[in-house]
Structure 1
Amino acid sequence: MTEDIVFENMRIDDDEVIQEEDLEMKYYLKNKKEFESLAKEMLSGKKVLFITGAGLSISSGISPYRNSKNAIWGSFITTWGTRKKFIEDPQSFYNVFWLRTHEKQEYLDALPNPGHLSITNFVELCNANVITQNVDELHLKAKVPESKLIEIHGRISMYKCITKNCTYEYDETITSIDINDYAIKGSMKGGDLEINPPPCPSCSNPILPQSLLFDEDYNSHSFYRYHEAMDWIEEADIVVFIGTSFSVGITEEVVYQAQTNNKKMYNFNVFKETKVKNMRPIIGPSEITLPLLERQFLYEAQKKIPKRQIWYDNTIKRMVFEAQEEFKEKQALKANSSTGRVRV
């Protein structure tokens, strides 16, 4: 049976490993049809777009915004997370809000979990891109190439200016700031950091974190690569959501595009999403379910490759590329047929 092969190398006589295997088997059997379907789609050469949210980073120690007893959404984030609030009092913006909810030492020190690492492998082997709503930098730490990753809501420990006509207002991002250099007392390590707002290296006015605030739009800074993100969304054949609440503009746009153009959608989360129609759920913690999908992916690849030589000469990557070229050819033929043109 498929599940026996997918788990064939995990029979280890250790209670902790067996318990972990039992948990993985539970989630595998619960989502088996979706794993098989998505793995085959990813091997087909179609364009896959991962949309990741806060749920992906929970097991790395990053608090989510919603749907958790540790979530920061319900407190004061919508009130304080605005450009308006920053302009009113930059020092309070940092000391009351930002350094308590986002730029904390444990967030800066956080490491990718197995879910992040699986996504990196999919990007390496498949025709895939990633748009993340997270500012935690964990996809980069997991080695997703920047050319394949859009951090649509910004990145922690980077900054922007809001002074009109400043070079950092739209075109460039400030990367040279160490927040500890502006400490009034204590430090990040001590957990009691209070700062004077860091100044812009160009115009000397107080600067904001490079994070999309609630009263800003995706075109407010070039860092968010909004137009490129729209191209990725339009071009994607399959959309895979991971740990998102579907409550921000980017997910609304992706869902609209997917439903309008009949794109296949999968959703990794700990609960079944009821707000979005025509989406296949994969239920369970993403640090478990994404590695299970990766195992299914390798199994499906193994069936296509003689003698299981899946690691030689980048065999999987080559196989996906060839499938991608074949898929493009079929799409071109279909387009030509629909317009009445005949290829010569």
Structure 2
Amino acid sequence: MAPSSLSVAEAAARLRQARRVAVLTGAGISAESGIPTFRDAQSGLWARFRPEDLASPEAYHRDPELVWQWYAGRYRDVMAAEPNAGHRLLVQLERQVGEGFSLITQNVDGLHARAGSRDPVELHGTLLSSRCERCGHVQPLPPPDQFTPPPVCERCGARGRPNVVWFGEYLPPDALSAAEDAFDRAEVALVIGTSAQVYPAAGLAAETLRAGGVVIEINPEPTDLSMQVQLSLRDTASVGLRRLLEPDEA
């Protein structure tokens, strides 16, 4: 049975009163910074490749140089972008809620941390670091203009791979556990700019609903989640967040 619906004003009030808030973000929040989605980034020279040809363990084993060229280009693109109003509004919400705030993202662009979010849980990893193939050490990549792939592990000297989750790989257990716990405990959960089709992230909102919490979706397009939540706003991330957090200005 679908939960009772809320008006924007009622949802904004619940958000102001909540002491435990969980947020899940997807590609939609970074679109306003000019970051293309994973598949949209496959343009130009990359258009002839399937996603699995560039983002899978098999692809990397077959041609690590090609895969690193792809990821180095994406790394340059995200570092040239800037956090937008949506990212900054979530920083504002985090300060408002305090310790009970959790930010979970499917994005790998690092924009939440650059906007000032304290400790975002990056379910799919990040383009901003590499992970050693031998010892597993994670280290930040050099600035884009100083980076020539592949990176070399500063601990053992082995080659590093992109520190992202590829097709056929599991999400980091600690990150997934933190996300599930945050949504299970949340009084209010926000699901922003995600299609709600990629599991297990797509199932997080159900944790909040099962526990009796409120779920608010912000997405310009309807998703599989839209009819299950108390409020679904057909807005971009920044506009929807402003309506909830700054109702007098929206």
Which TM-score bucket, shorter chain as reference?
Answer: 0.7 to 0.9
User: Is the CA contact 1:34–1:282 (under 8 Å) kept in the aligned structure 2?
Assistant: no
Residue of structure 2 equivalent to 1:103 = 75
Query: Is structure 2 residue 81 aligned with structure 1 residue 116?
Result: no
Change (3 A) 1:71 1:276: farther
Residue from 224, 227, 240 that aligns with 1:289: 240
Name the CA distance, whole Å, in 2 between partners of 1:94 and 1:230: 32
User: Is the CA contact 1:63–1:72 (under 8 Å) kept in the aligned structure 2?
Assistant: no
Query: Is structure 2 residue 13 aligned with structure 1 residue 63?
Result: no
Deviation at 1:176, TM superposition (A): 5.5
Percent sequence identity over matched residues? 21
Deviation at 1:180, TM superposition (A): 4.7
Deviation at 1:76, TM superposition (A): 2.2
Report Cα offsets for 1:143-185 as digits up to 9, x if no partner.
1112xx212211222110232xx1xx2xx421254565454xx
Paired residues for 1:1-344 under 5 Å: 34-65=7-38, 70=40, 72=42, 76-95=50-69, 97-100=70-73, 102-104=74-76, 106-126=77-97, 127-146=100-119, 149-163=120-134, 166=135, 169=136, 172-175=137-140, 177-178=142-143, 180-181=145-146, 183=148, 195=149, 197-219=150-172, 225-275=175-225, 277-279=227-229, 280-296=231-247
Amino acid at match of 1:252: A
Name the CA distance, whole Å, in 1 between partners of 2:206 and 2:18: 23
User: Is the CA contact 1:84–1:215 (under 8 Å) kept in the aligned structure 2?
Assistant: no
SS of corresponding position for 1:103:
helix
Amino acid at match of 1:85: A
User: Is the CA contact 1:242–1:269 (under 8 Å) kept in the aligned structure 2?
Assistant: yes
Name the CA distance, whole Å, in 2 between partners of 1:45 and 1:275: 22
Deviation at 1:267, TM superposition (A): 0.7
User: Is the CA contact 1:47–1:237 (under 8 Å) kept in the aligned structure 2?
Assistant: yes
User: What runs of 5+ residues in structure 2 fail to find an aligned partner?
Assistant: 1-5
Report Cα offsets for 1:116-142 as digits up to 9, x if no partner.
111110110024221011111111121
SS of corresponding position for 2:242:
helix
Q: Higher Cα Rg: structure 1 or 2?
A: 1
Amino acid at match of 2:139: I
- Name the count of aligned residue pairs: 238
Change (3 A) 1:206 1:297: farther
Amino acid at match of 1:82: S
Report Cα offsets for 1:58-99 as digits up to 9, x if no partner.
110100236xxx46499622332112211222111112x323
Change (3 A) 1:125 1:255: closer
User: Is the CA contact 1:241–1:267 (under 8 Å) kept in the aligned structure 2?
Assistant: yes
Amino acid at match of 2:168: D
Deviation at 1:215, TM superposition (A): 1.9
Amino acid at match of 1:271: E
